[in-house]
Amino acid sequence: MTHPTRPDRTPSWTLLTLFIAAMLSLSAGARVADVPPPAAPQEESEPSSAEFIEYRSLPELGQITITDGVVRGAKSVARLEGRAAQLAKHGIFACTDEEKPHVYRRTDEMDGRRIETTVVINPPEDEESDWTRHVTVRVDGRKKVDCSIGESPEGDVFVAGVTVFPEDGTVDVVASDAEGSTLVPPEGFEKLDERGVITDDNLQPPPDDVEPEKPKTEKV
């Protein structure tokens, strides 16, 4: 008895195997394509900071001070920006409003003198410029100080602070040039009763110390 010959199914299994392998390869490729590329390393941002001018009337210490100040850190900057109006009532004048200039005026009677102070804060004109701040001090109606507070518009003078001593009759200006060398007002301008006005232009290096001449000796 003869049996019919079974058909050879080897080619069918081979095709099925190739088909499954192709589908698995496509599935793996799709999964790889779904994986996002690694994020580019972010550049470290500069620390947040903002400047302000501080005005202090200290009658118990016999002085009025106007100084340049800075805050650092995102939270501190946010507080300075968000509370600018309230802080101004306490003598903290924030350099945060880039839309318009701000003018602050204060008047004090101290030790028989009337001290009128005006602080003007101008925002940057463009991305490359910086804030400019100016202080004017009048003593008994006469202008005594008319200079930058902080960096001057030209960048050649930096005034860290101005202190008025009404009882002593003097004013101190702490300033430096672009190289960090000390600058002082002309001789005599520190006196409140002297008519000279202290400005950016007349701040100058302190006079050099002159050694006294040695007495001449005659040979015998």
* Residue 194 belongs to some domain of the structure: yes
Reported as a single tens digit per residue, the pLDDT across 183-210 is 999 999 999 999 999 999 999 999 874 4
Per the structure, the count of domains in the chain is 1
**Residue 23 belongs to what H/E stretch?**
helix 10-34
State how far the Cα of 5 lies from the Cα of 102, in Å rounded to an integer.
104
Provide the residue range defining the domain that includes 183. Answer: 62-68+98-199
* Residue 8 belongs to some domain of the structure: no
Sign of CA dihedral 157, 160, 162, 163: negative
Reported as a single tens digit per residue, the pLDDT across 32-72 is 445 556 655 555 555 589 999 999 999 999 999 999 999 99
* Residue 74 belongs to some domain of the structure: no
* Residue 155 belongs to some domain of the structure: yes
Is this structure's pTM higher than 0.75? no
Reported as a single tens digit per residue, the pLDDT across 75-109 is 999 999 999 999 999 999 999 999 999 999 999 99
∠100-104-107 over CA atoms, to 5°? 165
* Residue 21 belongs to some domain of the structure: no
Annotate 27-78 with three-state secondary structure. HHHHHHHHCCCCCCCCCCCCCCEEEEEEEEEEHHHCEEEEEEEEEECHHHHH
How many Cα atoms occupy the beta-carbon half-sphere of 85 within 13 Å?
Answer: 1
* Residue 90 belongs to some domain of the structure: no
* Residue 180 belongs to some domain of the structure: yes
* Residue 33 belongs to some domain of the structure: no
